[in-house]
Amino acid sequence: MVAIELFRGDITQLKVDAIVNAANNSLLGGGGVDGAIHKAAGPGLLLECKTLGGCPTGDAKLTSGYNLLAKWVIHTVGPVWNGGLNNEPSLLRSCYASCLRIADEFKIKSIAFPNISTGVYGFPKQLAAEIALDEIHACLKNPGQIRKVIFALFDNENFSIYNKLINCG
């Protein structure tokens, strides 16, 4: 059985096998969770990311965790919200599926996700949480190595949304 947990706080402080970085297409750092992960991981993360050639929206790539408590960072590029008319929900769903596929490939047992695309990318938080939980549940019907999924939520609004969805759904 796979446990799904909520954590209110900084994803870089979690001791899990992998944390997910809500990255931009360059993978070279940015604001929000991306900037926090790069800062906490140290310069080795940026050096490795420079070798990856970026990442398309909806896909994911793996790096070492460097100075993080997590052994791995799975970088995924969520869609920028443009009113939902540019395949944004499908691309966000693909982010979660791509991360779980990498987690299974690398025998990752515990993984922490932020609420991808809901910061500066503007994806509606409620819809993003519904997509995330739906995709996690769908992928975990055959969980492979994963035993724990944590949603690391930095703000009260996201935490409240996930808490309601998990406890009422």
Please indicate whether residue 34 is annotated as part of the active site.
yes
Catalytic residue among 17, 34, 104, 134: 34
Side-chain-facing half-sphere of 146: CA atoms under 13 Å: 25
* CB 90, CB 134: distance < 8 Å: no
Q: Left, alpha or beta for 18 (phi > 0: left; psi -120 to 50: alpha)?
A: beta
Distance CA 74, CA 167 (A): 27
Backbone angles phi, psi at 63, to 5 degrees: -135, 170
Distance CA 31, CA 49 (A): 16
**130 closest CA partner among 118, 146, 148, 112:** 118
Rounded (to 5) percent helix, strand, coil in the chain = 40, 20, 40
Residues with a known catalytic role: 34
